[in-house]
Amino acid sequence: MRLEKCYFCSSTVYPGHGIEFVRNDCKTFRFCRSKCHKAFKQKRNPRKVRWTKAFRKAAGKELTVDSVYEFEKKRNVPVKYDRELWQNTVKAMKRIAEIRHRREAQYIRNRLRAGRDKQLQKERSFIEKHVDLLQSRDALKKAAYAKIKARHTKMDTSTEE
């Protein structure tokens, strides 16, 4: 079972699914759905369409250069069947998928950490500029007690009269 990649969005195209377009020069294009096929016919650039894998990689939102991706490349070299080789290959595929997921998660955490650091810096600069708006807890408690005391004295004076 050969799993192809969509020419436009790079998602997986399973056998019996999607559309195959063959140009006059015999170049074939596989598309996962009509959305990708229509975008291709409209001559849209996948790197400029926000929902594609090409955009995410070009914008730095996904990991692009990693040694794990070398294993996913298509190899058209026939190999004689060997049961042990296949067993080792399947084990390696599982291990590679696990490594890839771990590295992608780390990449995303690092990206989010940078944004969080920027947000903290922005908040700190705002606080430094507007420090006069902040009050200490003790000052707030004293103000609240003063209000309560004022109400009680006001009530006491009104009951005495």
With residue 152 as reference, give the H or E element that holds it.
helix 137-160
* pTM of the shown model: 0.53
The average pLDDT across 33-37 equals 96
Is there a contact between 144 and 136 (Cβ–Cβ < 8 Å)? no
In sequence order, the 6+-apart residues with CB closer than 8 A to the CB of 127 are: 134
How many Cβ atoms sit within 10 Å of the Cβ of residue 6? 23
* Of residues 67 and 10, more confidently modeled: 10
For residue 61, list its beta bridge partners.
none
Q: State pLDDT tens for residues 85-125.
A: 989 989 988 998 898 899 889 988 988 898 899 999 999 89
d(Cα 101, Cα 148) in Å, to the nearest integer? 58
The average pLDDT across 71-87 equals 83
